Chains A and B, each alone.
Chain A
Amino acid sequence: MEDNKFEEVFEGKLAKNEMVEPKDWMPDNYRKHLIRQISQHAHSEIVGMLPEGNWITRAPSLRAKVVLLAKVQDEGGHGLYLYTAAETLGISRDELLNNLHTGKAKYSSIFNYPTLTWADIGAVGWLVDGAAIMNQVMLQRTSYGPYARAMVRICKEESFHQRQGFEIMTHLSFGTADQKAMAQDALNRWWFPTMMMFGPPDSESPNSENAIKWRIKRETNDQLRQKFVNQTVPQVEYLGLTVPDANLKWNEAKKGYDYSEPNWVEFKNVISGNGPCNKQRLLARNKAHNEGAWVREAAQAFARKRKEIYEAA
């Protein structure tokens, strides 16, 4: 009886496009879905710091170094807001991190690919952040308030990152022959993994239906993928590069490009832990956390001592 009434209020909010806030009643599966999605997103930001951080010490100009440091710092900041948003759903950061470190929680598979050249830093900003924005823009109006508000800030910063990534690609594509080859090579390696970021084809996507009902998602995986291709191909042409897909062709009837599906077998392999960097990403996160244990303990011990002194006074 009670629950039904709460559920009515909840459904009413969804129907009226109102926000659900932390103290509001919400169904268990809604809460679970959000914890899973927000924490996956937070983990992706934190793990994403690794492939990009990989090039900070090798950024080829002072300006590039400053921009990349600021970018990686932004990603960490996003992780922080998102962990905080997830905590409002009644789960602790320790528990969330533990899920990441033990491999129980997922993060965006794209970060299991290596950044091999400086052009990869351009490609990640341009393509990966570009794809992420496409997924995330609709989340600014998602039904859960703390998540929606975090996403407003994140989307602003991500579109800045995308422009910075494109700027790197521009320098390379209009630079020397070696630089242009570096840009093309990065595009060749990142194109299909980026296409995978929108998730499996709609026919095989298990989580979509509720997600759309709860305004956690507004467009399907395939719709977003098509939108991404349509947006990106002209940018590739501007750069004078080639999309590594022989089947790419403008289709006048659908006012969009036809394109090849990514290799979904590879996608499943990377998701299940066999991507080029899955093991080293998890190892790096675990190492940082474990080696940081004494630092966190020292801070807690110090705070306890100060509290005792304060209370004794």
Chain B
Amino acid sequence: MTTQEALFQYTLRIADTNLILAQRISEWTGHGPFLEEDLALTNIALDITGVAKSLLEYAASIENKGRSADELAYFRNDRQFYNAQITELPNGDYARTIVRQAIVDCFDYYFYTELAKSKDETLMGIAQKSIKEVTYHLRHTSSWVERFGDGTEESHNRAQQALNELWQYTGELFEMTEVDEILIKEGIAVDLNKVKEKWENHMSELLEKSTLAKPENVFMQTGSRKGIHTEHLAFILAEMQALPRMYPDAKW
């Protein structure tokens, strides 16, 4: 694998994780538990769609085969998507949506902090811009994890159940492959072991503050680094890609 191929796949991985999560949480738009929260979640969806767009534009330029960012988004099949599986899972109730968002926001916060030191200037720039946004996202979603954990018995149970169900998808976030190895040598990619430690500490502290139990000895699911997904992704893409695929010659 060449550095260029590795960089293409690495960029797609980050882009897809943002795009698919945005796709999921934007399902809440207009249906949130109350207006302020509807706006907040829509805003997160908007921010991370923006990040996905920048990254896909960069991926298109790395690949340099005449494919545009839109073509990467709308004309790849599920086996060519590299988003973490946790992002494609159905939203479930609001506790599950928020717990997942906090898990990913926390990952993103430490990940972008490291990526902002990358020798790749485009990734560095996107990471620097994203840290500002993710800081707000994490503050917002963490505050809701706390409210749910230490709110009512019902909210506590819902949040705990969400954690128990979602935890098996957190291992994937930190998996490193040949892609990472090649790019770490070049000073481009992030050593995810470092991110993992910070993420674990942060999550432990948040869950303790929220009176929630951190799931232990969980078997971790895997696959997305190879483009293997849950059953949900193909449905997301069927919906997202329908129009461009129905009218492949059209420009929108």
Interface residues of A (CB under 8 A from B): 46, 49-50, 53, 56-58, 60-66, 69-70, 72-73, 76-77, 79-80, 83, 118, 168, 171, 175-176, 178-179, 284, 287-289, 291-299, 301-302, 305
Which of B30, B34, B146, B242 sits near A53, CB closer than 8 Å?
Answer: B30
- Once the chains bind, are A171 and B151 in contact (CB under 8 Å)? no
The answer to whether B46 touches A70, judged by C-beta atoms less than 8 angstroms apart, is yes
Within 8 A of A (CB), among B28-70: 29-39, 42-43, 45-46, 49-50, 52-53, 56, 69-70
A66: chain B residues within 8 A (beta carbon): 46, 49-50, 53
Residues of A within 8 A of B155 (CB): 294-295, 297-298, 301
CA distance A298 to B158 in the complex (A): 11
Known: A57-B240, A73-B46, A288-B31. A171 touches B158 (CB 8 A): no
Q: Select from chain A the residue with minimum beta-carbon distance to B23.
A: A57
CB pair A292–B94 under 8 Å, yes or no, is yes
**Do A62 and B30 have beta carbons less than 8 Å apart?**
no
User: Known contacts A58-B239, A61-B70, A175-B250: does B34 contact A298 (CB below 8 Å)?
Assistant: no
Interface of chain B: mostly helix, strand, loop or mixed: helix
* Contact call A292/B151, Cβ cutoff below 8 A: no
- Say yes or no: A56 contacts B56, CB within 8 Å: no
User: Does the CB pair B29–A72 fall under 8 Å?
Assistant: yes
List chain A residues, Cβ under 8 A from B216. Answer: none
Q: Are A69 and B45 touching (Cβ within 8 A)?
A: yes
B151 near A302 with CB under 8 A, answer yes
Smallest CB separation, B164 vs chain A (Å): 18
Residues B42 and A295 in contact, CB atoms below 8 Å apart: no
Interface string of B228-252 (1 = CB under 8 A from A): 0000000000011011100101111
Distance, CA A175 to CA B251, complexed state (A): 7
* CB-defined contacts of A292 to chain B, threshold 8 Å: 32-34, 37, 94
Q: Are A56 and B29 in contact (CB under 8 A)?
A: yes
Residues of A within 8 A of B150 (CB): 302, 305
B29 to chain A, nearest CB (A): 5
Q: Which chain A positions have C-beta within 8 A of B244? A: 60-61
